Amino acid sequence: MMRRKNKRRRRAAFGIYFLLVIAVLMLIGGIKLVVDNWTTPARASGMGIDTGGSGDGWQLLLVNRWNPIPEGYAPELTELWNGESVDSRIYSYLQEMFDDARTEVLEPYVNAGYRTNEVQQSLMDQEVEDYISQGYSEADAREMAEQWVAVPGTSEHQLGLAVDISMDDNGSQSAVDVWQWLMENSYKYGFILRYPEDKTEITGIAYEPWHYRYVGKEAAEDIYRRGVCLEEYLGN
């Protein structure tokens, strides 16, 4: 009888031990799941690095002639109807903005979205050649070109977060009408006029009324209300 009791006790102890092992394994699996979920936004940002802890840093990533694109940056893209592409995360906001603009009898479209480094280099080379053909030296031509075309590796177009917006030629209004509407309303959708006329010395780029950058709705409204550029907003 005593042996039977001891055997039952051993079985009970083994059962408790087995349950404890299962619990520990589940806990380890839960921790791994949490870690994986925390790191996913950083990978989704296209940089393979954490850009803001919560994964939201991609919206405010500063890229200009002094701050190049992080190495390995490769956004997930969504192609537009005309063959241009944008970062997939901004597509719905861009679409909403365009839909609302159309209710004002405007017909905006993206004539430049994401660019590869090769395309950006080609644009720079062409701009330099245009100035040289006008009689400028190569050094002067390059300096002047860089006022309009970002040096490859420092263009927001390579992020997929910036778009050049124009007006459909078949529309009853002009591109200027579209740009005016965007200046007054783009912040509602998370976009900002990236290169304002009075911020050239700070941004390093000449005034471009067609160039809009997604930064998220909260930041866009703050930037719009304060009348600052992205560099000023980020304290750079």
Where in the sequence numbering do the catalytic residues fall? 208
CA-nearest of 32, 61, 67 to 45 is 61
Cβ-count burial of 75 within 10 angstroms (0-12 exposed, 13-18 middle, 19+ buried)? Answer: buried
Q: Count the neighbouring beta carbons within 10 Å of the beta carbon of residue 225.
A: 9
- Alpha-carbon distances, residue 32 vs 24, 93, 97 (angstroms): 12, 33, 39
Assess contact for 107 and 170: CB atoms under 8 A: yes
Cβ(168)–Cβ(109) below 8 Å: yes
